[in-house]
Chains A and B, each alone.
Chain A
Amino acid sequence: PTDDSDPWWAAFSGACKAMNLTLEPEIFPAATDSRFIRAVGIPALGFSPMNRTPVLLHDHNERLHEDIFLRGVDIYTGLLSALASVPTLPSES
């Protein structure tokens, strides 16, 4: 779920908001390993912090600007701090 009733979405999107990131929630247009994870009942989000970047996966001249890459490290620093600090959920106690 992508609303704040879901604690993981709330933590993820809250951390993005704190970093002034604009998010566009979508359904992945292909298939990846997340489907196996969701199939065993674990919530998963697909996120690669690459904005201002042409979609070149599987294409010739796949590339990434080093500044976008480095900002991605900053973004994960914020995301991990938030996600790894989510307090015990009702479902976990």
Chain B
Amino acid sequence: IDEPPTSAVLLEHCSFSQVVFSSVEKFYVPGGDVTCYYSFTQQFVPRRKDWIGIFKVGWKTTREYYTFMWVALPSDLNKESTKQQEVQFKAYYLPKDDEHYQFCYVDQDGVVRGASIPFQFRPETEE
């Protein structure tokens, strides 16, 4: 199996890593709400129409999001923007299959600013 050309991506890495997702679980219990934790790098300024989407791994365009939430803007951008932020996805809107999904942060110009490790919706013990 050929590996994808990661070196080409590393050059562009910075612009895609301005939002960092943290505490992403490998599995989320089906039927439960999901809290997505993320933080902004220092130089990144979030805007009102930025959003976080849940995408099936292998997505091609940002229009393919499964569901999305607008980001919660920190009240004081200077003071709080580097702190951990969170947004909650309600169970009702989450995928019902066991495919791999990931969070992606998309800014109001449609530029992807961060992508998370993948996760699935299934109980951890079920194989």
B and A form one assembly: no
Residue numbers of B with Cβ under 8 A of A are none
Residue numbers of A with Cβ under 8 A of B are none
